[in-house]
Amino acid sequence: MKKFKRYTITSALPYANGPLHIGHIAGAYLPADTYVRFLRLRGEDVVYVCGSDEHGVAITLGAKKEGLTPKAFVDKYHNIMKKAFEDFGISFDIYSRTSNEIHYKTAQEFFTKINDQNLFTIDSSDQYYDEEEKIFLADRYIIGTCPNCANPNAYGDQCEKCGTSLSPKQLINPRSTVSGKTPVLRPTKHWYFPLDKFEGWLKEWLVEGHKDDWKTNVYGQCKSWIDQGLQPRSITRDLDWGIPVPLPEAKGKVLYVWFDAPIGYISATKELKGKDWEKYWKDPETRLIHFIGKDNIVFHCIIFPSMLKANGEFILPDNVPANEFLNLEGEKLSTSRNHAVWLHEYLQEFPGRRDELRYVLTSISPETKDADFTWSDYQKKVNSELVAILGNFVNRVMVLTWKYFDGKVPSEKEIAGTTEKRKKILAYYNQAHTDLDKTVKEMINCLQTFKFREAQFQMMNLARIGNKFLADAEPWKLAKEDMEAVAAILNYALTVVGNIAVACEPFLPDAAKSIKKQLNASGLDKKWNELWTKEQLVHTVPEGHQLNAAELLYKNIEDEDIARQVSRLKKTESKPMEATNLKAIKPEVVFDDFSKLDIRIGKVVAAEKMEKSDKLLKLTINAGVDTRTILSGIAKHYSAEEMVGKQVAFIANLAPRKMMGIESQGMILSAEDSDGKLRLIRPDEIVNPGSTVS
């Protein structure tokens, strides 16, 4: 493995529009934090940067819903997230934000550097602008009369009646579907990043260069993307919230959020390190690693590296150990349904139990496939592993030492195998020592290769081996006959405890602190970190050293605690959605607008799944006046069989539209739940087919 001089570690910038839940933590933050703590213990030069991602349309919309300015909105969520990370003990060297001035400057410089090389392409055109909503309108948000067939409801890109491809400017009497007003043409242009030009380079650098050292899930998805061919990506937006494009001719334009966000890693490093920042991003002997969730793979493995390459001054990520997703009680985490364990709520509900959550999330870390968090699993892992194995081992060693030696570290002297019993003890000792060294090596090896689940398991094995050593050596029996042997046993057991204090720090920082306190370790732990560099057990506590009182590392999680969390999940899920999650009411219409729609009831007489489509059902509807074919995107929610015989509401005079080669003559009405679930709108009782709805 290549030896690096220093490390730049990033965790995905969380988007500042909501609080953090355990899925975020398990995906991008806990693994990174564990890794960073490990690197620090090894004495590596490392920066660990992160911050809030605060730009984009979703922020402006979210702000509008909450009646805040975008700035006030991101301030609110930035502070919530920052505090949650701090309280949970994610050890960023800096948690910054993309609304900072330094970030504006950095992102603009980054843009300029690429622009100076004439790498961007510019696509300039007149676009319709909605003066009421003050936004440029995408083609689909404009309707008007088709110049070809006079259909009054043609879309900006296509007339559905005659099938002609259109551009918005060809429409007669264009209207904005957002406000209903007549939009005006305004010239606008956008800058595009030519991702396609980096295809050859990506094949070399990623497809060839990282075939073996990147995780299969990451590599597979990247290769698939590159093989499908890459397109130029627009990197500017007409928006008033974001980083202004630093060109005089780009007034009123901002950088597209995905362009500015990853540069936030760089800005944060600048903010942290001042003039010293460059070596963390420009020296090839620096190892750059991005920790992310799988939704961010393409972005961090293809787009951002291409940007860095285009800029020309920067190093590239050496690895991107993306995690899969975390589920909760067998179902996907859902913010809108409130099916989630929120980090800030966990910290309130389980005060002082940060290690417990870290431990459980690492032990089920979705490293190779989606994983499931359940509260009962949480309880089991805490009680039967943290309490019973680790906590108990430390406790029994402490208690024994106090009982037999008044809390003073007993003699370091090794015993001679003068009796049968002593010979046995020596054998146990040798066995334990061999096992422990092997385990430490294995743990370190796993940490280096991002196998945190396995690494933590090996860390726990240190306590398992310690427990076995005590059970085999039985010092409590020897206390009556051979105190010298008891001393040797406990001295070694304390050494193991000390090493566990060092070894568990990346995983369980609070336990590390507590054990060190019990060992009264301040001032004598200078060489302890040799565990990490020499990859073997080190002697931690000198003879005669006075220990502090024993304290329990962990307490059992009671059934009631778990029951409360489970019922809480159920309760919050059934409660109606908060208004902030609902879509805003559309602009007012007059009755005439409504009466233009011909909504009717029809009976599904036949239904089949459209081939080659995941979402479409082809329905044959008896509409009374006629029988027609309607395609509907409900296949994920209704099977073809269960649709047959059902009465449904549909729009009878909607312009026909071709999909997948078949013309759909109408639109089935259904209600969409916040989580995207569709339910049909149907009459309360059976009515005659063709009945109108008003």
Partner RNA sequence: GGCGAGGUAGCUCAGUUGGUGAGAGCGCAGGAUUCAUAACCCUGAGGUCGGGGGUUCAAUUCCCCCUCUCGCUACCA
CA angle 51, 56, 58 (to 5 degrees): 105
Write out the two tokens for 19. Answer: 């609080």
Are 176 and 282 in contact by the 8 Å Cβ rule? The answer is no
Size of the site for RNA (CB under 7 A): 81
> What is the torsional sign of CA 325, 330, 336, 338?
negative
Report in angstroms how near the CB of residue 395 gets to RNA at its nearest. 4
**63 vs 680, which CB is nearer to RNA?**
680
H and E: helices and strands count for the chain: 24, 27
How far apart are the C-alpha atoms of 33 and 36, rounded to whole Å?
A: 5
Specify the stretch interacting with RNA by CB under 7 A; choose among 221-229, 243-251, 537-545, 590-598: 221-229
Are 142 and 171 in contact by the 8 Å Cβ rule? The answer is yes
Task: For residue 285, give the DSSP letter.
Answer: T
Write out the two tokens for 441. Answer: 């090596």
User: What distances in angstroms separate CA 4 from CA 7, 42, 44, 309, 661, one per listed residue?
Assistant: 7, 13, 9, 20, 56
Q: Which residue has the tokens 């950088």?
A: 255
The verdict on 533 binding RNA (CB under 7 A) reads no
The verdict on 668 binding RNA (CB under 7 A) reads yes
Of 396-425, binders to RNA (CB under 7 A) are 396, 399-400, 403
Write out the two tokens for 281. Answer: 């991003």
The verdict on 654 binding RNA (CB under 7 A) reads yes
Report in angstroms how near the CB of residue 578 gets to RNA at its nearest. 23
The verdict on 384 binding RNA (CB under 7 A) reads yes
Q: Where are the alpha helices (DSSP H) in 335-391?
A: 343-349, 354-363, 375-381
Phi, psi at 618, each rounded to 5°: -100, 115
Among 472, 484, 561, 608, binds RNA (CB under 7 A): 472
Write out the two tokens for 21. Answer: 């839940």
Report in angstroms how near the CB of residue 392 gets to RNA at its nearest. 3
Among 273, 433, 468, 513, binds RNA (CB under 7 A): 468
Report in angstroms how near the CB of residue 423 gets to RNA at its nearest. 18
Among 392, 411, 629, 674, binds RNA (CB under 7 A): 392
Terminal C-alpha separation, the chain:
71
**272 vs 631, which CB is nearer to RNA?**
631
Among 50, 239, 387, 485, binds RNA (CB under 7 A): 387
Specify the stretch interacting with RNA by CB under 7 A; choose among 195-203, 462-470, 481-489, 515-523: 462-470
Report in angstroms how near the CB of residue 636 gets to RNA at its nearest. 8
The verdict on 651 binding RNA (CB under 7 A) reads yes
The verdict on 510 binding RNA (CB under 7 A) reads no
Site string for RNA, 270-309 (x = CB under 7 A): ------------------------xx--x-----------
**123 vs 675, which CB is nearer to RNA?**
675
Among 32, 364, 519, 547, binds RNA (CB under 7 A): 364
The verdict on 491 binding RNA (CB under 7 A) reads no
Give 263's contacts (C-beta < 8 A, 6+ positions apart): 103, 106, 107, 110, 307
The amino acid at 118: N
Among 2, 3, 251, 369, binds RNA (CB under 7 A): 369
Write out the two tokens for 460. Answer: 């726990």
The verdict on 611 binding RNA (CB under 7 A) reads yes
The verdict on 208 binding RNA (CB under 7 A) reads no
Among 269, 395, 518, 565, binds RNA (CB under 7 A): 395
How far apart are the C-alpha atoms of 236 and 255, rounded to whole Å?
A: 4
Q: CA-CA-CA-CA torsion for 332, 337, 340, 346, nearest 10 degrees?
A: 180
Are 598 and 692 in contact by the 8 Å Cβ rule? The answer is yes
**318 vs 474, which CB is nearer to RNA?**
474
Of 130-159, binders to RNA (CB under 7 A) are 140
The verdict on 447 binding RNA (CB under 7 A) reads no
Site string for RNA, 164-203 (x = CB under 7 A): ----------------------------------------
The verdict on 497 binding RNA (CB under 7 A) reads no
Specify the stretch interacting with RNA by CB under 7 A; choose among 29-37, 165-173, 275-283, 358-366: 358-366
How far apart are the C-alpha atoms of 211 and 218, rounded to whole Å?
A: 10
Q: How many CB atoms lie within 10 A of CB 72?
A: 11
